[in-house]
Amino acid sequence: MQSSSNLFPVALISAERRGDLSEDIYRLKPGNSPDWSVEIAVTRLGMADEPATRGVPVILLHGSFSNRRFWFSPKGLGLGAHLTRLGFDVWIPEMRGHGMSQRNEDYRRNRVADYARYDLPAIAAFVREQSGQIPHWIGHSLGGITLAAALGGEYLGEPAVASAAFFGTQVSRTYWPLKIPPVEWSGRFILKRFAQLSGSRLKRGPEDEPIGLALESMRWYGLFGRFGDKDKDWWAGLADVQVPVLAVTAAGDHQDPAWACRKLFEQIGSEHKQFINLGREQGFSENFGHVEMLVSKAAQAEVWPLVARWLADQYTPLVGEKVDMAAAG
């Protein structure tokens, strides 16, 4: 692999024009995890007619059963395209086995622990090398969980994170059957027979997810489970996070309800953090859903401008009474 980086092998595998935007896709092979076959595709968006003009870098992390198209469609639509047109330097990684990221040899055992410990630090290093600036991070659903794990596990810190925004992100929802050991053991036994969960069959999205993620989450929600791995307690580590944080929930999100997302928000120790619940009671036009909070015409009109304002200034309340400002000690 011919490298365009001094950090590890990187190849530019695609360079396309999408209307007024450019879409460059890099394949990173950091070689920093036990599975040396891991390659990560990272898309960089820019203005096609102004290739030398790059603003503050922003890294967008997709959720489960998804890929880069959650943020940027082939027609040039999406939050990623919106931020690019506003002058931000937008980067969109695709997790192992998603989109342009090929499945690694040990794909079925992939976990959030691997993404957080190995992949996100490599992505951060590459983006910093190419942009010369510390990136802001935005994660939706599982992307937000991975970002929280990386911060709580101290795999990412202030040198790699200018701010962190979590959309529909929680690890506190209780699944009572998993608190019964025989039920959890039976579930694990059944799931281990599969290599992946099909997004299309489950009607959850265009991508599959490795079974390792399901087994890992079962451990988190088990009787004595915790948000972490055998080496680190990520939940406890979140109390030491000091970068500015934005948490956004949706009143109509039944998958990751606002109360559960709020627990994650409150656990983060940052002095500068804001919490927004997207719903009619908070003054928004509708009760947004889990996906619609970022992908919908209403999101384009009401949520995307908030994201842009947050990236420009993390210390000013975004929309007055709609925002809950919280300060630690």
Position 7, amino acid: L
Q: Which residue has the tokens 């396309």?
A: 16
Q: What is the pLDDT of residue 215?
A: 87
- Cα dihedral 164, 210, 198, 97, rounded to 10, equals 70
pLDDT of residue 1: 44
- Listed residue (145, 139, 142) closest to 164, CA to CA: 139
The CATH number of the structural domain formed by 10-173+230-312 is 3.40.50.1820
Angle between helices 120-131 and 142-152 in degrees, nearest 10: 90
C-alpha count within 13 angstroms, C-beta hemisphere, residue 120: 33
208-245 per-position pLDDT tens digit: 999 999 888 888 877 667 899 988 999 999 999 999 99
pLDDT of residue 193: 80
Alpha carbon 154 to its chain centroid, in Å, reads: 16
- 284-308 pLDDT, tens digit per residue, is 999 999 999 999 999 999 999 999 9
The long-range contacts involving 256-260, CB below 8 angstroms and separated by at least 24 positions, are: 256/141, 256/168, 256/169, 256/170, 256/173, 256/290, 257/170, 257/173, 260/170, 260/171, 260/172, 260/173
Q: Give the three-state DSSP class for 274.
A: strand
- pLDDT (0 to 100) of residue 292: 97
Angle at 108 between CA 106 and CA 114, to 5 degrees: 70
Q: Which residues, in sequence order, are bridge partners of residue 273?
A: 245, 326
Structure tokens at 250: 């949706």
User: So where are the chain's domains?
Assistant: 10-173+230-312
**Rounded CA separation 91/139 (Å):** 12
pLDDT along the chain (329 residues), means of 10: 79 94 96 96 94 89 97 95 97 97 96 97 96 97 98 90 97 67 67 82 92 88 81 95 97 94 97 96 96 97 97 87 48
Token pair, residue 117, equals: 């410990």
| pLDDT score for 315 | 92
Whether the model clears a pTM of 0.95, i.e. scores above it, the answer is: no
What is each CA distance from 213 to 44, 141, 194, 230, in whole angstroms? 27, 13, 12, 15
- In whole angstroms, how far apart are CA 41 and each of 22, 91, 129, 256? 16, 10, 16, 27
